[in-house]
Structure 1
Amino acid sequence: MDNTASSSSKNTDRELMEGAILDRMREVTKQQWEDYQLATNLNRISETNANHKPLLNQDSLRRETPVLMGEDGDSRGAPSEQQGTAKEGNKKSTKGKEPMFHAKASELIMNFIVWNCRGAGGKGFSTLIRDLRKDLDVNFVILLETHISGVRGERVRNRIGLNGSFVVEARGQSGGIWCLWDSNFWKVEVMSHTFQFVHMKIKDKNANQ
């Protein structure tokens, strides 16, 4: 009897802890999204000012355009919601930072989430991803280190609700890459992949070209 009560108490504590972590993830991601919107507005202002400065060359414009930066090391912890371009370019070298994308108003903009989640099998995980998709209007999700595979992983992906997918299965409790997208928006061609990376070509289905 005592063992049963102890086990029940531990399960309750674990559920409370997972709930608190998920709530914190939502708060962090919302703040990241608000910060990015501010950077985007600054980008638009910079582009507008450039139109009124005939002598402003491309180099000076590039210096005035905000660049999304990531800290050195892997992206452990909170999910990172990013709004970047479909092509990566104009990289800069900044000490202590890794340039991610240099966004121009004339290039294709896409909202996506990249998260080194370190396990996608937790209770409420699929609900968290659905909430983030809804709150941030995201239709492309990349999850790293999912640590689950097979039928169990398929059930979680189905609950997330994106109908396009490419999966590199985890090996036991190691690895796992899920690339999930809305096929109404994106045409995805996988060029190559290994256990540690996926190289894919992404096209906007609604683009004129």
Structure 2
Amino acid sequence: MSTPRLKIDNLFCERDERVLFEGLCFEVNAGEVIQIEGQNGSGKTTLLRILSGLSRHFEGDIYWQGEHLDNCAQAYRESLLYFGHQPGVKAVLTPRENLQWYASLHPEMDLTKLDYALVKVGLKGYEDVPCHTLSAGQNRRVSLARLYLSRAPLWILDEPFTAIDKRGVAEKEALITTHAQEGGTVILTTHHELAMGDKIRRLNLDQLAGTL
């Protein structure tokens, strides 16, 4: 059997003296789209933050392509794109400048598609407007535009369809599907009912970790 791209082994996380999950184990392979499900408070966002390296408040082991994350942290960071609840854009910069700044930190970004990306997220005409003048939804779209530029093999996406209309959701689903078809891996949470059929595998935290 081939080595899984990402392996989570016996993960435990407690917050505010409440266990979010324990004994959490699952594997994710290249070409897979994984939707993390669970009741509110089951730890979906916390899990994604752990997997993205933004939180160290856990016990257990995570392996990237067969190697323990402690031994390949830099390579792992360079291999993932994380989209969280906060847009993570610099307010004084324009959408174009934000993407250029982000790409300077992530060489795998393809800046030749910058204008295309901003059009696809509905920001045509706002490319050179300071982000502090944009709405919260528009700032999320600036961050979301990174998906069209990223060549990172692993995407970790927390509610990526928020503030996106039905057409936009369909386009992002198609983008995620294409990424998987090209050998990428996607782990996401969403409250949207996705129309990806058997192209997506759903993992319920309540069932995997025995949470209530």
Q: Same fold judged by TM-score > 0.5?
A: no
Structure 2 length-normalised TM: 0.28
Higher relative contact order (CA 8 A, sep 6+): 2
- Which protein shows a greater Rg? 1
